C-alpha cells in the first residue's frame, strides 16, 4: 500500500478551520441582520449578558463558541500525529469522519437547531475523536 503524503493528516484540520470561518460568517450575517431589524446599537452588546438579553437568534454564536471546545483536542491530536510522522490511514479516516460529523453538527445548529439531531452528531464526533486519540496513543506506544 502506498504511503500517505506527509501533509495528509493536516488537511482535516484545515477543513475544520474552514468550517469555523464559515460559521463566523453566518454568525455575523445573522447578528448584523438582527441588530439592523431591531435597531440595536453595537455598544449595547458590549458584554455577553447584553447580547443574551437583546439578541434572540444565537444559533450561530452558540455553534461558534462550541467550535473552540472539543475541537481543540482534535487540532492537538492532528498536530501530534503530524509531528510524530504517523503515516496511518485509520487516523486519517477518523480525522475526516470527525470533521464530517462536526459539519453536520454545525449545519443543524446554525439552521433548524433540532437538539437530538445535533446531539447525535456531537456525541458521534466526540466518540470518533476518542478513537482518534486512542489510535494515536497506540501508535505512540509502538514507536
- Residue 52's pLDDT is 86
Grid cell 450575517 is found at 29
Q: Residues of the chain whose pLDDT is less than 70? A: none
For residues 60 and 23, the answer to whether their CB atoms sit within 8 Å is yes
Please report, to the nearest 10 degrees, the dihedral formed by the alpha carbons of residues 13, 90, 139, 132 taken in order: 50
* Predicted local distance difference test score (pLDDT) of residue 6: 84
pLDDT of residue 4: 86
Q: Are 12 and 95 in contact (CB under 8 A)?
A: yes
Chain-centre distance of CA 89, in angstroms?
21
Collapsing DSSP states into helix, strand and coil, what is residue 26? helix
CA 51 – CA 27 distance, rounded (Å): 13
How many whole angstroms separate alpha carbon 115 and alpha carbon 80? Answer: 33
pLDDT score for 48: 85
Residue 55: the pLDDT is 93
Amino acid at each position: 500500500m502506498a504511503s500517505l503524503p506527509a501533509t495528509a493528516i493536516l488537511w482535516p484540520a484545515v477543513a475544520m478551520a474552514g468550517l469555523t470561518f464559515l460559521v463566523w460568517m453566518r454568525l455575523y450575517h445573522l447578528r448584523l441582520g438582527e441588530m439592523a431589524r431591531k435597531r440595536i446599537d453595537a455598544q449595547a452588546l458590549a458584554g455577553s449578558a447584553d447580547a443574551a438579553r437583546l439578541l434572540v437568534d444565537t444559533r450561530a454564536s452558540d455553534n461558534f463558541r462550541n467550535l473552540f471546545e472539543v475541537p481543540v483536542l482534535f487540532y492537538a491530536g492532528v498536530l501530534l500525529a503530524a509531528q510524530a510522522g504517523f503515516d496511518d490511514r485509520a487516523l486519517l479516516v477518523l480525522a475526516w469522519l470527525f470533521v464530517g460529523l462536526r459539519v453536520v453538527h454545525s449545519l443543524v445548529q446554525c439552521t433548524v437547531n433540532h437538539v437530538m439531531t445535533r446531539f447525535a452528531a456531537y456525541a458521534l464526533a466526540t466518540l470518533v475523536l476518542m478513537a482518534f486519540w486512542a489510535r494515536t496513543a497506540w501508535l505512540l506506544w509502538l514507536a
